[in-house]
Amino acid sequence: MGEFDLIKQFFVRGAAANSAVALGIGDDCAVLNPAAGAQWLVSSDMLVEGRHFLSTVAPERLGHKALAVNLSDLAACGATPRVFTLALALPRADATWLAGFAKGLFALADAHGIALVGGDTTQGPLNICITVMGEAPAGQALLRSGARVGDDIYVSGTLGDARLALELFRGTLNLGGSDFETVRQAMECPQPRVALGQALRGVASSAIDVSDGLIGDLGHILQASGVGASLEADALPRSAILAAQTLAVQRECGLAGGDDYELVFTAAPTAQAAVLQAAQASATPVTRIGRIEAQPGLRLLDRQGQALAASFSSFDHFKS
Amino acid sequence: MGEFDLIKQFFVRGAAANSAVALGIGDDCAVLNPAAGAQWLVSSDMLVEGRHFLSTVAPERLGHKALAVNLSDLAACGATPRVFTLALALPRADATWLAGFAKGLFALADAHGIALVGGDTTQGPLNICITVMGEAPAGQALLRSGARVGDDIYVSGTLGDARLALELFRGTLNLGGSDFETVRQAMECPQPRVALGQALRGVASSAIDVSDGLIGDLGHILQASGVGASLEADALPRSAILAAQTLAVQRECGLAGGDDYELVFTAAPTAQAAVLQAAQASATPVTRIGRIEAQPGLRLLDRQGQALAASFSSFDHFKS
């Protein structure tokens, strides 16, 4: 199968999916119509086999995940998804694999009204690079830099299941059949919190998505905002499956697991009702997990309010 | 070196480079300010070692080329470059390599006023994915679909040197020292025709950049515009170095070489003076090479106006 046939068969789907697209796939560039008064938000993520996904993943789930991790960046900024490009290096043009990949990709794209407008395909070691673009009313994007002393810290959903799944694949832990499938789904099919992000515009003071682990990603908020925080380590929301593990595993997975794609965000105590309303409006559970403080650094407290001495580090692609 | 240190050391350069950038590197997304009345043009290209560049290329030239091939897509649409993202998979974080790559990348970025606003770095087989964004006044982007019967066909610069260099590396041809360096530079340091593209807005009826070979890329214009063309095969502009080769080599390199990153475009005969003015204003040589006709297909003519029977095919990443 040739490159142009491949694009046509699996990735060209007729009319533009939304009003931002003046011209989609098929020219040197896509042509986009920014909405009046909007800012554009842009993010790129690259996924490599063995680093971001295992070779055992189903192509449909991989298509989903490749877009999901990018949508999660738009969610963290409170943006409305509009368009994306897809660059794909493939060892070979495998029609079965491509059909599955495209199916998972477009199911998620359609769920969020985001249109594929261009990209590239080439022969090479499997590599998936997606760039997403979204819109937000000017000045309303959620940033990492807005956390203020006294703000509450919240997180959406639950943390740690994706890391738990990774440990199961690594063989360091064991888990029965249906539980394994549940946490595997958390790892392979993360649901980006797009609706929550949009609902938090004008409510949250800062936000980031949890991709490298809560501690590391919350650390980016603290650094960008010039503040510190205390976190109730054992009050983190976790699944019943993770809660059945030892406290050490719960802490490692929840605090430093990575691949969660939940939102961690801050809001003034006076905004608490608005936060709960945003959670309800977006049908997304949120849990208060700590507080922003003036003292720099991140303090982890156990149930008794005692400092945890444990050291956790977030995932870094160039550290082992 | 960790991932965040690597980004900071080589790719973060302080203040935003142009008025389109409200917020650059450092948050989940970059935040962009579209200019009133403008459309955005977006393109992604992925470069893989052994496919798009040889392992022998200097990192500085590779940084240049990775951005150049993307800028060439903006040029083909007549867009003004604004911002780009860079996703980079690297076998290891090699500071010498990264410093060279960043130097070549930013030298070209600065020359075109385009700002790096985000991206991704990860460990993996060498892969470079760049997404560029540019602007054009609404409705003025150059497209592949505007060629009309009777239009002249033009190409910028010269064609074939990059392919000639590839053949030298492959060992199918030989060439002396300084000539080798000259064509090697054409292959490794293409100069995107950004100024010409912008000058052709309102002048050219269609345009595309020559990345996969003239015949294939002109073919995209013909298909998108629903027309055919005749091309004077031996009237193609070529360097003195290529002109010294056999006619067969000249034709193969010029017609089907690829990696030229020149613009091929069409314009009504009444626009001839405006085309020459655009060429002059952008200090870019252009040559008339043929004419758009109603009869579908592409006819290659020799100097005597006789049809060339030769078959050439443009480069396709999934055909051998």
Q: Specify the pLDDT at position A304.
A: 85
Is the separation of the CB atoms in B190 and B165 below 8 Å?
no
Query: How far away is chain A from the Cα of B81, in angstroms, using its nearest Cα?
Result: 12
Q: How confident is the model at residue A314 (pLDDT cuts 50, 70, 90)?
A: very low
User: Which residues of chain B are under the pLDDT cut of 50?
Assistant: 313-320
pLDDT tens for each residue of A209-234: 999 899 999 999 999 999 999 998 88
Chain A residue at shortest CA distance from B133: A29
The model's pLDDT over A38-59, given as tens digits with 9 standing for 90+, comes to 999 999 999 998 878 877 889 9
Instruction: Give A230-274 as a DSSP string.
Output: EEEGGGS---HHHHTS-HHHHHHHHHH------EEEEE-GGGHHH
Phi, psi of B315, deg, nearest 5: -70, 135
Cβ within 8 Å, pair A129-B44 = yes
- Would you put residue A113 in left (φ > 0), alpha (ψ -120 to 50) or beta? left
pLDDT computed for residue B315 by the predictor: 46
> Mean per-residue pLDDT for A228-256?
92
Burial group, residue A172, by CB count within 10 angstroms (0-12, 13-18, 19+): exposed
- CB contact under 8 Å between B77 and A143, yes or no, is no
Neighbouring residues of A219: CB distance < 8 A, sequence distance ≥ 6: A298, A314
Q: From the CA of B250, how many Å to the nearest CA of chain A? A: 26
Q: Which two tokens stand for residue B243?
A: 């002109």
Q: What is the pLDDT of residue B270?
A: 98
Least confidently predicted of A1-5, A273-277, B53-57: A1-5
Across A125-152, average pLDDT:
96
| Per-residue confidence band for A137, with pLDDT thresholds at 50, 70 and 90 | very high
- For residue B117, list chain A residues with Cβ-Cβ distance below 8 A: 42
- SS3 of residue B61 by DSSP: helix
Q: CB of B33 within 8 Å of any CB in chain A?
A: yes
CB A66 within 8 A of CB B140: no
Confidence (pLDDT) at A318: 45
Rounded to the nearest angstrom, the minimum Cα separation between B91 and chain A is: 10
Mean pLDDT of chain A: 90
- Closest CA of chain B from A177, distance in Å: 32
pLDDT tens for B227-236 read 999 998 888 9
The per-residue pLDDT for A176 is 80
Q: What are phi and psi of A182, to 5 degrees?
A: -65, -50
- The pTM of this model reads 0.91
pLDDT computed for residue A311 by the predictor = 55
What average pLDDT does this structure show over A272-295? Answer: 97
CB-based contact B270:B204 (threshold 8 Å):
no
Q: What is the pLDDT of residue B157?
A: 97
Question: Scanning every residue of chain B, which has its alpha carbon at the shortest distance from the alpha carbon of A93?
Answer: B318
ipTM of the complex: 0.90
Q: What percent of chain B has pLDDT above 90? A: 68
Answer whether A43 touches B (CB < 8 Å): yes
Banded model confidence at residue A14, pLDDT cuts 50, 70, 90: low
Residues A162, A65 contacting (CB under 8 angstroms):
no
Taking alpha carbons only, the member of B116, B115, B41 closest to residue B78 is: B41
Residues 6+ apart with CB under 8 A from B34: A34, A38, A39, A40, B20, B40, B135
Do the beta carbons of residue A214 and residue A234 sit within 8 Å? no
Quick one: pLDDT at residue A320?
38
Question: Does residue B94 belong to the interface with chain A, where contact is any CB pair within 8 Å?
Answer: no
pLDDT at A100: 94
Is pLDDT of A151 > 90? Answer: yes
Max Cα–Cα distance, chain A, nearest Å: 63
Angle at which helices B3-11 and B95-111 cross, to 10°: 40
Average pLDDT over residues A83-97: 91
A6 CB neighbour count, 10 Å cutoff = 19
CA distance A235 to A301: 9
Question: What are the residues whose beta carbons fall under 8 Å from the beta carbon of A160, sequence distance 6 or more?
Answer: A236, A238, A239, A242, A250, A253, A254, A257, A260
Chain A CB within 8 Å of residue B42 CB: yes
pLDDT-based confidence at residue A317 (cuts at 50, 70, 90): very low
Q: Do A28 and B118 touch (CB under 8 A)?
A: no
Task: Write out pLDDT tens, residues B120-129.
Answer: 889 999 999 9
Residues A179 and A232: beta-carbon distance below 8 Å: no
Please give the angle made by the CA atoms of A205, A192 and B70, to the nearest 5 degrees. 95
